[in-house]
Structure 1
Amino acid sequence: MESMVSFITGRPSRRTSIVQKNIVIVSRKLSGLEEAMRIRRSRELQSSGKARKRPPLRRGKVSGPLPVPEHILRPPYVGTRLLPEISSEHQIHDEEGIDRMKAAGELAARVLDFAGTLVRPSVTTDEIDKAVHKMIVDAGAYPSPLGYGGFPKSVCTSVNECMCHGIPDSRQLQDGDIINIDVTVYLNGYHGDTSKTFLCGNVDEPTKRLVKVTEECLHRAISICKDGVSFKKIGKKISELAERHGFSVVERFVGHGVGKSY
């Protein structure tokens, strides 16, 4: 769709002259569905109100790392402060490796579901860490974050504005908080990794919408995952949906992973 727009510009001088410029503006015509989504999004923003102001997140006291029974297999980075290098080589898994990876992922999912039941006002993230640690080691697995580059805890708990990889501490969860719990386990030589953001008590509507859109981005990204799809295409799906709803994506390579590497 093209439209012709005329602009009149004038500059003071002894002889006032008026210059007319014709500028062609090319715009893309929105489909009916896109226009409906834009209108709906505009109405949601108007009705959602303002997010509740909360004090900035303050670090609590971090307790020492919890012990892991000696018989449990540890990842190779445990006992050093060296971070494993990110390998550019593809991980090729045989049938046994895939089965082990599935088992690790299933355990991580069960632990995450359990951790979510603990989220409520007055509970500390340190208490969540202890409960997660016990469930993982009772299953014969190692909590992957523990000892990674000196990380002192068995789970990552990221509250409110903490983007990711938050360290559990003595701070109590407050009514209206959101908390991302990131669980990774090391079972039979394979990591299983999963995370989810939980609502604590009465959370305001704009914050609920942030969590909802983020989860939608996850499922949109999963829907295109298959052999041969590049990471950038997965990331593009996430960015497009997030930006359509007025959010931005943190442009840093972060995360954990599955398989033999962490």
Structure 2
Amino acid sequence: MIKYKTEDEIKLMQTSALLVSAALAEIAKILKPGLTTLELDKLAAEFIADHQATPSFLNYHGYPHNITTSVNDAVVHGFPNKTPLRDGDIITVDIGVYKNGYHGDHAYTFILGEVNAAVMKLVRITKASLYEGIKYAVSGNRIGDIANAIQVFNENEGYGVVRELVGHGLGRDMHEDPQVPNYGKRGSGILMKENLVLAIEPMINLGTRHVYTDTDGWTIRTKDGKPSVHFEHDVCVKKGEAFILSDYTPIEQAEKANSALNSSYY
């Protein structure tokens, strides 16, 4: 069932989305080799609580942490753990918050130190493909238009577009209809109307698109062990141009100011 939002609901959802952006920016400020992802989880939990919100992910279908931290070949849903991050790692931090009755949910991939040119390009192209998809989140278009834009943009570079995991509607529930795949045919899927809120999230692999679930029952990894990148925005469908509820600006500012992070792919 598709749940379209009122303008007042969209304002509340933007508050939740911007809180996620702020939490990701806080992580970007301190992220460096030697930190553990459990430390990031603790920081995010405290930041969310300080802003009178709760983590959307904690206890969701039994998930035991506040955020997900997916390192290198982990596509999504990586468990925070005690392993120190290393120079040359890439890490996707995905955060959800629940505030004022609505969820915000988005993700950002960070590069720690120096990586090879192929990984740098993967991060750049995946991030750019998110905005290619968002261009089509306009009333009168179909979900397949978003999906196809993301798929074509990435497959033109030879990347694997993950098919087992999708974006989704967002609102009072963290996962609402419709699903938003990162592959598909233009002109297919539901017709989008104004005030449909979507989490659009390309998950793109350097090698094969094929993935598997790790022994923890949650972490999704690439089958060939090559890196994967994941970017996600919360987006409201509008006439003419989509309204992005989340904001990468504070994340990017913190990323550029942190000498341990590599933002030279911009």
Return the alpha-carbon distance in structure 2 between the equivalents of residues 94 and 151 of structure 1. 31
Matches within 5 A, 1:19-168: 89-168=1-80
Structure holding more strand per residue: 2
Output the amino acid matched with 1:224. Y
Aligned pairs, how many? 174
Q: 1:257 to 1:119 in 2, by over 3 A?
A: farther
Distance of aligned partners of 1:255 and 1:167 in 2 relative to their CA distance in 1, 3 Å threshold: farther
Unaligned runs of 5+ in 2: 175-266
What is the distance in 1 between the residues matched to 2:80 and 2:167? 17
Matched, 1:183 2:82: no
| Secondary structure of 1:163's aligned partner | strand
CA deviation string 1:161-180 (max 9, x = no partner): 00101110111111100000
User: CA contact under 8 A between 1:193 and 1:257: conserved in structure 2?
Assistant: no
- 1:253 matched to 2:165? The reply is yes
1:207 paired with 2:119, answer: yes
SS for the counterpart of 1:133 is helix
Q: Distance in 2 between matches of 1:133 and 1:257?
A: 24
TM-score calculated relative to the size of structure 1: 0.64
Structure 2 counterpart of 1:143, which letter?
A: P
Equivalent in the alignment of 2:243: none
Secondary structure at the counterpart of residue 228 of structure 1? coil
| Closer, same or farther: CA 255–236 of 1 in aligned 2, 3 Å | closer
1:258 and 1:105 map into 2 onto residues whose CA distance is: 10
Letter in 2 for 1:222: I
- Which is higher, the Rg of structure 1 or of structure 2? 1
Structure 1 residue ranges, 4+ long, deviating more than 4 angstroms after superposition = none
Given residue 250 of structure 1, which amino acid in structure 2 is its aligned partner? V
Query: Which structure ranks higher in relative contact order (CA pairs < 8 Å, sequence separation ≥ 6)?
Result: 2
Contact 1:156 1:183 in 2 (8 A): yes
User: Is the contact between residue 143 and residue 186 of structure 1 (CA under 8 Å) also seen in structure 2?
Assistant: yes
Q: How far, CA to CA, are the matches of 1:229 and 1:158 in structure 2?
A: 32
Alpha-carbon distance, 1:117 to partner: 2.1
Q: Distance in 1 between matches of 2:128 and 2:66?
A: 27
Instruction: Tell me how far apart the structure 1 counterparts of residues 24 and 121 of structure 2 sit (CA, whole Å).
Output: 22
Partner of 1:226: 138
Partner of 1:62: none
| 1:102 shift after superposition | 0.9
